[in-house]
Structure 1
Amino acid sequence: MSMCIAVAGASGVVGRRLTELLHARHEVRSLTRSPEDAARRGVRGRLIRADFGRRAGLERVLEGVDALFVATFDPVDPRHDAHLAAAARAAGVRHVVKLSALAVADADAQDLVTRWQRECEHLWRDSGPTWTLLRPRSFMSNCLSWAGAVRAGEPVRALRGDTRNACVDPSDVAEVAARALTDPAHRGRAYALTGPQALSVRDQVARLGELLQQPVRYEELTEREALVRWRDRYPEPLARAMLEMAARQAAGAKTAVTEDVPRITGRPAATFETWARGNIDAFRPDRDPNAF
């Protein structure tokens, strides 16, 4: 049965893939701060300009929507989920799929980002519509942040590169989201989404080098160096939270592999090598970086 589905955060790595999965059978409203950028990125559906930091106008764009996917990204400004939840309730949205994080299930995880995700989950549980919570580990696509260095022949530099994370292909997360949005059997459920194997940064760098058929070097950052880098890109509280998350990974908190992806999709979760093969051109020296 065809539905009207809104995707909040449609330009994100999960949202973009989700619009591709849904648009052929459903009416998709792709909510994004920049429809122009979303169009360039290949986001499907009806592109709608939306600022989640402002409550005004959100109810109107959600009128007639059956199900809503929510991906928000600013733990320093938690208004986005509150505004979307109020608008969804007022517009009569019946079901919400919220992108969260697997760390929320770990009582020892008390960093800023994880506390914010927990608060968002509580907000959506109490918001009125039925809900599904998606809790992924780190996305394999985070490796794309290394692409510029690899193209330039420079080393990949990271903190605690020998620690492991059961990272997940964001396309798998999008497929689970598509099913949760359209099948009532997933209502009231929280899913832990991982890849099939816990890998370190060194492991991932080695795989990229094998696929590129050229050496890709890795260099370890100190905590101080990592913090300086993060401060250049993020507010201080978020940079500190990233340091705490790295410490939890070093303690082995992110290595467990779950079976929710294969159970829901009916196929094995994608390996890092599969993801890397599909995205290897982003790392080739002769590729245009603006194409990715």
Structure 2
Amino acid sequence: MILVTGATGTIGREVLRLLPAGQAVRIMARNPAQVADATRNAEIVHGDFTDPSSLTDALHNVHTAFLVTNPDGADDARFLDPARAAGVRHIVKLSAAAVTDSGAEDLITRHQRHNEELLRASGMDWTLLRPRAFMSNTLSWARSVRADGVVRALYGISVNACVDPRDVAEAAVQALTGAPGEHAGRAYTLTGPQALSAAQQTAQLAGLLGQELRFEELSPQQAREGLGARYPADIADALLESARRQHSGSKGVVDP
């Protein structure tokens, strides 16, 4: 049995779509009624990282788990002990490429590194998936594209080797369904085939949509105000620091 957490998220729903037919799958969700499982016949159970008894139930008879958590919380620590007690043999964890950057010391990356360390010390087999930014993050531009024909972003010429979430999910499925031990103890950095800037992405979108799009670069203050309206101050600061590292060229390497 494979347990999938984060099943309604960007990667989790693609993992569900790609898991082979006939594979026993259980979906853990805070509210099972809200999980639309139109792609496969999976078991859907209640599970909450803050509810130990629900984790015990969700992990019963599970041998492999796909773990997606918010890096700024304690969900990894809450999950690993029940998983080990339930006899889970292998955890495939969604992490981030920034953990390999020695210059990345923002809050989110520090939490991600800590969560990776918890998994490596758990005694279970582990596989780490470390993607760069998702190409689908550009969907956040949809409103301004529709309303104004404009894309607004910070550091418009800085590049990122962004990756399609479907490719990340494909790697996850390989790790989840591979032969025992095949991917144990491995960490995979996942990038797209080309480093792209926001300005380049805007030009590509304009061609695909068949309409003229304009790129407007946000100032750091404008970016801070926008992030501050959506996130707590410490998370907004971490995201701004991440953007500064991208501006310095730290996210442009395409990994083969």
Cα deviation for residue 43 of structure 1 reads: 6.3
2:55 match: 58
Instruction: Deviation per CA, 1:35-62: give whole Å up to 9, x if none.
Output: 343317x564222232223333101110
- Equivalent position to 2:115, from 107, 113, 120: 120
Q: Does 1:202 align with 2:191?
A: no
Instruction: Deviation per CA, 1:150-196: give whole Å up to 9, x if none.
Output: 22234211111110000001111111111111113111100010000
Residue identity opposite 2:232 in structure 1: P
Q: Which runs of 5+ in 2 are unaligned?
A: none
Instruction: Deviation per CA, 1:219-242: give whole Å up to 9, x if none.
Output: 111111111111111111000001
Structure 2 CA distance for partners of 1:203 and 1:37, relative to 1, 3 Å: farther
SS of 2:239's partner is helix
- Equivalent position to 1:182, from 173, 177, 181: 177
CA distance in 2, matches of 1:161, 1:37: 37
Structure 2 CA distance for partners of 1:36 and 1:141, relative to 1, 3 Å: farther
Percent of aligned pairs with the same residue?
50
SS of 1:131's partner is strand
Instruction: Deviation per CA, 1:247-290: give whole Å up to 9, x if none.
Output: 1000000000011xxxxxxxxxxxxxxxxxxxxxxxxxxxxxxx
- Number of residue pairs aligned between Structure 1 and Structure 2: 253
2:143 match: 148
1:1-292 equivalent positions in 2, closer than 5 A = 4-22=1-19, 24-39=21-36, 42=38, 44=40, 45-75=42-72, 77=73, 79-183=74-178, 184-259=181-256
Structure 2 CA distance for partners of 1:43 and 1:157, relative to 1, 3 Å: farther
1:289 match: none
CA distance in 2, matches of 1:178, 1:196: 20
Q: Which runs of 5+ in 1 are unaligned?
A: 260-292
CA distance in 2, matches of 1:146, 1:34: 29
TM-score normalized by structure 2? Answer: 0.95
Residue identity opposite 2:65 in structure 1: L
CA distance in 2, matches of 1:48, 1:147: 34
SS of 1:151's partner is helix
Residue identity opposite 2:183 in structure 1: H
Higher-helix-fraction structure: 1
